[in-house]
Amino acid sequence: MIHHYELRVYYQDTDAGGIVYHANYLAFAERARAEALRALGAPHTQLVAEHGVMFVVHRVNLHYQRPARLDEVIRIETEITKVGGATVTINQHFWRDSDSLVVLEVALGCARLGDGRPARIPADWARRLKSEKGQT
């Protein structure tokens, strides 16, 4: 499944030239990932409350292709590409109409809330994430 999330670029998201400030793409991507998990019936707050673990960004590979500008509507496509014992890899693609703007590969690690140490993804969550990407 590819989850679609749209947002409008506001003045606060841009630099003095009206172009989205580079670090804001990470915030946009975070919102889109949270909504993708929510659409799976797996909101992050539930993972924390039921299992005492959370997903943390372990690695980001980000490729800027074209700038987004003030007042444009951009679409972020989020797709789970790999689920491991304690990690999830997600690809996110930013679009303005048919123009590719930014591509991210994000590695999330599952960590214990109490001490931040790595933890296995709870079995029920791993099943949901794997079924979403067609992995068994």
- The set of catalytic residues is 15
Structural tokens at position 111: 């960590």
CB-based contacts of 55, cutoff 8 Å, min separation 6: 44, 47, 88, 108, 109, 110, 111
Token output for 96? 């303005």
Q: What is the dihedral of CA 2, 71, 102, 31, to 10 degrees?
A: -50
Question: What is the dihedral sign for C-alpha 82, 80, 44, 32?
Answer: positive
